[in-house]
Amino acid sequence: MARRSGLDTRQRADVEPLTEEGAAPTPPEGRSGPRHARPSRRARRRDAGAPGRRKIVVVFLAAAAVAVACTVQAERPVPHLTLRFDAPLKLVIDGRMPALGWPSVGQGAVAVPALGVLRVSGAQTPVPVASVAKMMTAYLVLVAHPLGPGDQGPSVTLTAADENEADADAAAGDTSVPVRAGERLSERQLLDGLMVPSADNLADVLARWVSGSTGAFVAAMNAAAARLEMRETHYDDPVGLDATTVSTAADSLRLATVAMGLPAFAAVVDQHQVVLPLAGAVTNPVPLIGTAGFVGVKSGFTDAAGGCLVLATVRTIAGRRVLVTAAAIGQRGADPLGSAAAAAGALITSVAGPLVSSPLLPAGAVMGSEHASWGASTPLRTSASVRVVVEPGAVVHITGRPLTGGERRSGAVVVSEGGQVVVTDRLSASPLAGPSWWWRLVHG
């Protein structure tokens, strides 16, 4: 037994000692092992490739960012284009306006509103204008109760007071038309009686109908005169009988121009005769009405005012309808109203006759150019020939201007002559070459 034990002891000395389960074996005596365990070959290959893959991802993301930026820049709207217009052209129309036949007394004025023309004679100081004041009465009635040219409008029931006023006006020798209490007259009938036979009593009826009282209506008349820049005009009644109801020839034409823009007003004053229920047929007292295209806007006469008349005509020139108005105020003599008609008619004929439609620019004329910040440009041309109605001898200035709103690539031809400013035609640009991709990238 002792011998076997000795043998066993020697054998165990040659065999590595057993370790606990799961523990790393102890290196043999005299051999020192590495401080850390070595990684496997696959792990070493995986670790060696990681930096390369990270570089690829970074490059890819950078390229994607550049691509997105380029796309955004390429799709962004280009900056607004710039329109440049050539220096204004100056043209002198052939011919010469004839001398005007101004009235020898009182005031005169003649106007072509579409051309911005207003010429006057005599001192334009406020003077009585008699029934010419009824232009404002009719104008305010139509502003308060608009009518179409052929409409009758609402009816007004007349009262006993209206009947008494009509009888009193007739007894005093004032212009009036008979009415009866309970009678119903339409707005158009009242305006016909106001403007053609110049009935004073109907002016008061209309004033009370619109404003409730003549005082309130007169206040509205003066407010309207201020709005229309009739600076030398003042009203004290809706009729014109009061000598303190004053105006000028020039102010009367300012009102006539606005009033003639209402179709119903123009239809009423363009009548030689009207028929009213009790009065029957009554005639316009102006001798020129209904002849040679004359429209008798309004006449008037009092001892204080003399003969007063605002006259108009509409002439068609090269297919364009042009309104010409004239006024003669404060005319005297044996036939004051006839003198006013002769003076106003001569003024209209002298001005309207020589008006011409003058060609100014042909189609395709270059008026400027459109420019882009990337260097491209294209001309701005007229889309049609440019013509305007002018007086002989007129000095005309032609230029261009941009159109407002969304029409950034368009312009307009502007013609000015005296006080006239007319936008006559469009300017358009041909297609403009767009910016390059590189320009968009750099300047976006």
CA distance 323 to 294: 11
Residues paired with 396 in a beta bridge: 91
Give the mean pLDDT of the chain: 83
Q: Of 15-19, 170-174, 439-443, which has the strongest mean pLDDT? A: 170-174
Q: Residue 266: its pLDDT value, please?
A: 96
Q: Report yes or no: 185 and 267 within 8 Å, Cβ to Cβ.
A: no
Residues 188-243 pLDDT 10s: 999 999 999 999 999 999 999 999 999 999 999 999 999 999 999 999 999 999 99
pLDDT at 13 over 80: no
Q: Residue 77: its pLDDT value, please?
A: 52
CA distance 378 to 288: 56
Q: Residue 220: its pLDDT value, please?
A: 98
> Which has more confidence, 420 or 270?
270
CA distance 430 to 364: 11
In eight-state DSSP terms, residue 234 is: B
Least confidently predicted of 187-201, 237-251, 345-359, 373-387:
373-387
Q: Residue 187: its pLDDT value, please?
A: 98
Q: Which two tokens stand for residue 53?
A: 């893959």
Q: What separation in angstroms does the CA of 187 have from each of 131, 136, 200, 269, 283?
A: 19, 16, 16, 14, 19
Least confidently predicted of 96-100, 105-109, 172-176, 262-266:
96-100
> Which has more confidence, 302 or 54?
302
pLDDT at 67 over 60: no
Instruction: Determine the length of the chain.
Output: 444
Q: Residue 255: its pLDDT value, please?
A: 98
Q: Residue 7: its pLDDT value, please?
A: 40
pLDDT at 310 over 70: yes
Identity of residue 139: Y
Q: Which two tokens stand for residue 363?
A: 């189609």
